[in-house]
Copies of this chain bind each other. A is one copy, B any other.
Amino acid sequence: MRTFLLQTAAALMLVAAPAAGQDLASKATQIRDQALADSTAWNVVESLTTEVGPRPVGSPSMERARDWGVAKLRSLGFENVHVEAFTTSAWSRGSESAEVVGPWPQRLNILGLGNSSPTPTGGLTAPIVLFHTYREMLAQPPGSLAGRIAVVTERMTRTQDGSGYGGINANRTQGPTEAAKRGALAYLVRSLSTDDTRLPHAGSSTAAGIPAAALSTPDAELLEHMAARGQPVVVKLNLASSLNPAAPAWNVVGEIRGSATPEEIVLIGGHLDSWDPGTGAIDDGAGVAIGVAAARLAGQGRPKRTLRVVMWGSEEQSGSGAAYAAAHIAEISKMALVSESDSGAGLIWSISLPPGSDGAPPMKAFLGAIGPLKVIVSRTPPEEGGSDIRGLIDGGAPFVDFHQDVSRYFDLHHSADDTLDKIEPKELAQNVAVWASFLYTVANSDIDFRKAAKAAK
């Protein structure tokens, strides 16, 4: 177990509130160094993964996560800590099993996909039809997969920027629907994973009316070896999932209120819910921890604008972002910035700032401060932001993309391997340093990203 010195409230007091005109750059640099030595983010994610663990939306542990979030924000000195309730659809895993029943009986390691239908009582037994690529399956005519379990074993490419995941995402999310269209009784997909462990990776899919599950990568390869023998391979699936179309859910919010223009919001967050096989450390305990720790450091001595932290309650199965945007639609025009950290705890290696802003003095101050952190300033404008802030972005809120190195992220993502030991504390701290410096400059300057974007056009 790693140990860190505890950051005490007293230590934070040593950093004085920014005087008017004080050099943003030197303050952002000071906060950067403070962040690199700060244990708050590690302590937050250690606490969440140890005391709550996995927390799928709609589960009892998500209620514990909500209470944990409120208590954690309060104990770290946040103001206006509260819960914003909403309802959303929540799919729950039941007992699951899969096995080859013939000609070579073997158990298979699977995880049902979100929105999968359950199998009939007693299971579903059928021969498989195996495609090495998703495209191959899409090339099959309607009805051609009738009576069979469609299996897609396409491999995912390891990339630093996550494009390997983006390129294959439809295999999981749309695969069940496309298989069902062609008459398949069920759908199995090779886990969207860059690792070779025998742990399947969960994830959501569109409801297709058929059972759907992810195979671990060795299990997908086992079926390839069997299928290559040219005899019918018969698989039995048991998936006992259930769906609650209106489950209670919560976004947990805390603030450090602004001193000059408190109505102007600088928003950072991560999502509190997680998939169930791991403890939700990298997805997205890390993001929650980075947001909380960075906002706390950035808000020392009270910022000019209000810093707001949101722990979204249903990212994996969607719902929390839309609920948050709907509840805050009137406030979007006052949001100076919205942001989400949801790519694990790997180093930030590139950032995309709002268009037209990188020459503005506060952004120059920020970029100067993070110079030693080995971050590239991308020429590409921000594109993603985060799925929980999509509604706010669509409503016109400025956003950023801080790109993390995800070359190991998809080894772990949505699997039982998403556990605390996979987080490198120094990498987590680098994230906090970049975010804290950034949030500080945005919350303590009058930078107007909307105006900068217009001027740049």
* A61 contacts across to B, CB distance below 8 A: 105
* Contact (Cβ within 8 A) A221 B106: no
The verdict on A342 contacting chain B, using a C-beta distance below 8 Å, is: no
* A50 contacts across to B, CB distance below 8 A: 104, 222, 225-226, 229
The verdict on A58 contacting chain B, using a C-beta distance below 8 Å, is: no
* Contact (Cβ within 8 A) B421 A218: yes
The verdict on A178 contacting chain B, using a C-beta distance below 8 Å, is: no
* A49 contacts across to B, CB distance below 8 A: 222, 225
**CB closest residue in chain B, given A422:** B196
**CB closest residue in chain B, given A103:** B51
The verdict on A419 contacting chain B, using a C-beta distance below 8 Å, is: yes
**Given A46-B225, A106-B53, A225-B46, A198–B416 Cβ distance below 8 Å?**
yes
The verdict on A197 contacting chain B, using a C-beta distance below 8 Å, is: yes
Interface residues in A224-267 (C-beta closer than 8 Å to B): 224-226, 228-229
The verdict on A420 contacting chain B, using a C-beta distance below 8 Å, is: yes
Interface residues in A171-196 (C-beta closer than 8 Å to B): 196
- Cβ of A329 to closest chain B Cβ, rounded Å: 37
- Cβ of A5 to closest chain B Cβ, rounded Å: 16
Select A198's contact among B105, B224, B417, beta carbons within 8 Å: B417
The verdict on A52 contacting chain B, using a C-beta distance below 8 Å, is: yes
* A222 contacts across to B, CB distance below 8 A: 49-50, 53, 279, 419-420
**CB closest residue in chain B, given A197:** B197
Tell me, in angstroms, the Cα distance from A61 to B105 when the chains sit together: 8
* Contact (Cβ within 8 A) B278 A51: no
- Cβ of A155 to closest chain B Cβ, rounded Å: 11
Number of chain A residues whose Cβ lies closer than 8 Å to a Cβ of chain B: 37
**Given A1-B221, A198-B199, A228-B1, A104–B421 Cβ distance below 8 Å?**
no
Select A421's contact among B53, B196, B229, beta carbons within 8 Å: B196
Tell me, in angstroms, the Cα distance from A422 to B196 when the chains sit together: 8
**Given A199-B198, A225-B1, A218–B417 Cβ distance below 8 Å?**
yes
Q: How many copies does the complex hold?
A: 2
* A431 contacts across to B, CB distance below 8 A: none
Select A52's contact among B52, B53, B104, B277, beta carbons within 8 Å: B104
| Chain A binding surface, main DSSP class | loop
**CB closest residue in chain B, given A419:** B218
- Cβ of A331 to closest chain B Cβ, rounded Å: 36
- Cβ of A187 to closest chain B Cβ, rounded Å: 21
* Contact (Cβ within 8 A) A225 B104: no
The verdict on A217 contacting chain B, using a C-beta distance below 8 Å, is: yes
* Contact (Cβ within 8 A) B51 A104: yes
- Cβ of A54 to closest chain B Cβ, rounded Å: 7
Tell me, in angstroms, the Cα distance from A225 to B325 when the chains sit together: 37
Tell me, in angstroms, the Cα distance from A55 to B104 when the chains sit together: 12
Residue of A52, A197, A224, A422 with most chain B CB atoms under a 10 A cut-off: A197
* A444 contacts across to B, CB distance below 8 A: none
Tell me, in angstroms, the Cα distance from A168 to B436 when the chains sit together: 44
* A421 contacts across to B, CB distance below 8 A: 196, 217-218, 221
- Cβ of A42 to closest chain B Cβ, rounded Å: 12
Binding site for B on A (CB under 8 A): 1, 46, 49-54, 61, 104-107, 109, 196-199, 217-218, 221-222, 224-226, 228-229, 277-279, 415-417, 419-422
Return the 5 tightest CB-CB contacts between A and B, nearest first. A53-B106, A218-B419, A198-B416, A50-B225, A197-B197
Other 13 A-B pairs with CB < 8 A, given A50-B229, A196-B422, A222-B420: A1-B228, A49-B222, A53-B106, A54-B106, A106-B279, A197-B199, A197-B416, A199-B199, A218-B279, A218-B421, A221-B419, A221-B421, A222-B279
- Show 28 A/B contacts (Cβ-Cβ < 8 Å), sorted by A: A1-B221, A1-B224, A1-B228, A50-B222, A50-B225, A51-B104, A53-B104, A53-B222, A54-B106, A54-B107, A61-B105, A106-B279, A109-B416, A196-B417, A196-B421, A197-B417, A198-B277, A198-B416, A198-B417, A198-B419, A199-B199, A199-B416, A218-B279, A218-B417, A218-B420, A218-B421, A221-B421, A222-B420
